[in-house]
Structure 1
């Protein structure tokens, strides 16, 4: 018995000590995460822009990334990158920028803003070198800002022109007995095409050709200016398929040479005036963000940047969506905050729920009546994304922004053939009124119900066009002529008066500061980043992150993106939508 008591208290003491150690470590870890030390950047630093990372509008700031398999946790937000590159111009620690130019998963407008920020940095006369094993077209586009571009001898660059491919599901749906009942307004509104046709309509082919050629022309112009080659020659190289190897790219002056990784390091050592045995001081953007004082204004006046990224949905939404309740709340707080003198709404959205879009439009209108409000468009500001933008004081877009798509649609699937003929399921019931079960997916709509649905879509479309006409101070008849669900690039939207100026987020900030007559101000970004403790305590965030990254790692990027597109079908078959035809993947 004495031995048992001795062992019991020894075990209890060990457990207490272990608990104290765990709690102490936890407190230290949380404290360190909330108050990180400012890292020492050392001397002769080379700032690294890794194009394989996704530069979202806001940094994800996920402290659990290492546990969930997230490989993008190191990427700062796009606006932070732009400000860091501008700050680095005069930072004596930074001697140059090294672009890791492999596969670039970012959109064209994001890539355009990165390229412009690099060109701004270039004015400092500091060097910019780009290197990648194989440069895809968006990586090469960003790299046109570099002094020198190199690639691996066994790699190369993608120089085959641009393409867009849509997936059509009507044949599959016919086979399994699902009949999408489609209602839409706008002859160019192509979001419903995958469900109702098996190939592109003439209208969709026309608009796709327009925006694809706009993007391609912008790409060729950037390359032509950087490499001193006319665009006709560059276009001919793609038409002939002339760039098949890295050495082809060198011989046609698209890059400056081929290098193995160690040879590239030797080039950098020489440029930095270092010896062969020295180590290059590469500084990641995440490290630089902790050390550089690139947003050091202590002014009391604020310019609020409110990010609208993702699909527009009713209610709360998640981290990758624009939930109308949350977004309206952010706008209202900025409107009522006396320190906020102007508002930027940064829109990066292909659209979504028409009801949620209208709720956000209303709050933007209220805010605009009290303070300068400018919209800055990212990769997308289309359909519902344009709906929430149209009433701003001024609209900025990148040349490669995809916008417009002023149109509406709704889809109600009829599963009756699948249920009855394929699965042997039958349904029966009672109702107190003829239309009590309208929208039920176990039967087709009646002709009267179809008229109701089309009338609802037409009414929402009319409201959409009226909002745009009032916001852009144009006749409704003119807006009707350029609406019709037609997609435009930012460049093409300027003469149509859908966009005011070509410019990035910083241009929009400068515009608001001028409108508000601010001499000194600080920018504050919303939604505000959650603290480490808030994120750790959010168990649903952890669970979702684990699941998402497990699927992504298992399927790979391309297959995972396709899964996301298919998953959107469920959203499309709910409330009336002001949305683009999925998210464009341009190769």
Structure 2
């Protein structure tokens, strides 16, 4: 009975372990082969994207590192449409964008959602814009856990665990947290939250003492986000591009273009990772 219950999950994990790394390797090889056939470009502007659940910073890092091959670049448009994700990855992305913005203007635009971890990721951009239908904010931190104790009782499954360290079983799925564990988690999450709001306040020139107005996990429409100082203006994508051209001192935009094949592979890897791992996040900015 127990084996039948867990069989689908085990099969999925085995498939990922067995084939996913090979799949990604083949995609990388294909990208390298096809990208070498592209004509030499001399762009002055580039687009990079942050879409879907944030699992790690690898996709954004790859896009930014690719920009180094084009010394003619003078500015970057970062398009964000993401509900957030893992804490560490969001912080790493924020640092990557901060470093990039120190070398050239980086303008963020969102027409969907720029919330929690994805807001963190883009907070150090030179300017942040959104269209009037976008949702911004959700500045907060959560810790996901599950207590499957009652389910295990019903199916007759009783785990046997030996652990060393008072808090080692904090992520245990077979029992509820103790009061000490709950207090420890709350303190940990509060520390992460404090780091989050401090970085936002510093990057956006906001008063930390006003964090109850712009944070606390609330989501705002674009107009309210502008009023609170979370974004610079409510404008369209084309208008954001015009702002980027002004900052980059570019009269005619010459965009860095990916081949259709490379763009397709990037989208495929990104969507696959988001769907497979997005729901498995533990501590997250969501």
Q: TM-score, normalised by structure 1?
A: 0.39
Residue equivalent to 1:413: 146
Paired with 1:466 and 1:437, the residues of 2 have a C-alpha distance of 30
Offset of 1:429 from its aligned partner? 2.7
Residue equivalent to 2:184: 452
Residue equivalent to 2:128: 395
Offset of 1:574 from its aligned partner? 3.0
The 8 Å contact of residues 214 and 230 in structure 2, kept in 1 or not, is answered as no
Match of 1:362 among 70, 78, 95: 95
Paired with 2:262 and 2:118, the residues of 1 have a C-alpha distance of 29
Residue equivalent to 1:384: 117
Give yes or no for the alignment of 1:530 onto 2:237: no
Offset of 1:335 from its aligned partner? 5.4
Question: Which residues in structure 2 correspond to 1:74-89 (within 5 Å)?
Answer: none
CA 451–395 in structure 1, closer or farther in 2 if over 3 Å, else same: same
Match of 1:576 among 280, 283, 286: 283
The 8 Å contact of residues 377 and 396 in structure 1, kept in 2 or not, is answered as yes
The 8 Å contact of residues 85 and 281 in structure 2, kept in 1 or not, is answered as no
The 8 Å contact of residues 412 and 574 in structure 1, kept in 2 or not, is answered as no
Q: Deviations over 1:26-72 (max 9, x none)?
A: xxxxxxxx9xxxxxxxxxxxxxxxxxxxxxxxxxxxxxxxxxxxxxx
Question: Helix, strand or coil: the match of 1:345?
Answer: strand
Residue equivalent to 1:99: none
Offset of 1:326 from its aligned partner? 1.7
Offset of 1:576 from its aligned partner? 1.3
Give yes or no for the alignment of 1:472 onto 2:204: yes
Paired with 1:491 and 1:325, the residues of 2 have a C-alpha distance of 32
The 8 Å contact of residues 411 and 572 in structure 1, kept in 2 or not, is answered as no
Larger Rg: 1
Offset of 1:385 from its aligned partner? 1.9
CA 473–374 in structure 1, closer or farther in 2 if over 3 Å, else same: same
Question: Which residues in structure 2 correspond to 1:218-229 (within 5 Å)?
Answer: none
Residue equivalent to 2:31: none
Offset of 1:345 from its aligned partner? 0.5
Match of 2:42 among 283, 286, 300: 300
CA 393–410 in structure 1, closer or farther in 2 if over 3 Å, else same: same
Normalized per residue, which structure has more helix? 2
Paired with 2:111 and 2:150, the residues of 1 have a C-alpha distance of 42
Offset of 1:437 from its aligned partner? 2.8
What RMSD in Å do the two structures reach over aligned CA positions?
Answer: 2.9
The 8 Å contact of residues 145 and 282 in structure 2, kept in 1 or not, is answered as no
Match of 2:160 among 422, 425, 428: 428
CA 365–309 in structure 1, closer or farther in 2 if over 3 Å, else same: same
Match of 1:345 among 78, 86, 89: 78
CA 391–329 in structure 1, closer or farther in 2 if over 3 Å, else same: same
Residue equivalent to 1:7: none
The 8 Å contact of residues 55 and 278 in structure 2, kept in 1 or not, is answered as no
Paired with 1:402 and 1:352, the residues of 2 have a C-alpha distance of 16
Q: Deviations over 1:432-477 (max 9, x none)?
A: 3233333111122222221221122111111111111011111111
Residue equivalent to 1:29: none
Q: Deviations over 1:334-358 (max 9, x none)?
A: 2574121101110011111122111
The 8 Å contact of residues 373 and 394 in structure 1, kept in 2 or not, is answered as yes
Residue equivalent to 1:489: 221
The number of residues matched between the two structures is 245
Offset of 1:365 from its aligned partner? 0.4
CA 447–403 in structure 1, closer or farther in 2 if over 3 Å, else same: same
Give yes or no for the alignment of 1:518 onto 2:225: no
Q: Deviations over 1:219-263 (max 9, x none)?
A: xxxxxxxxxxxxxxxxxxxxxxxxxxxxxxxxxxxxxxxxxxxxx
The 8 Å contact of residues 138 and 216 in structure 2, kept in 1 or not, is answered as yes
CA 336–463 in structure 1, closer or farther in 2 if over 3 Å, else same: farther
Offset of 1:362 from its aligned partner? 0.6
Paired with 1:417 and 1:525, the residues of 2 have a C-alpha distance of 54
Q: TM-score, normalised by structure 2?
A: 0.77
Residue equivalent to 1:500: 232
Residue equivalent to 2:106: 373
The 8 Å contact of residues 346 and 505 in structure 1, kept in 2 or not, is answered as no
Paired with 1:496 and 1:344, the residues of 2 have a C-alpha distance of 23
CA 573–393 in structure 1, closer or farther in 2 if over 3 Å, else same: same
Residue equivalent to 1:439: 171
Paired with 2:225 and 2:206, the residues of 1 have a C-alpha distance of 14
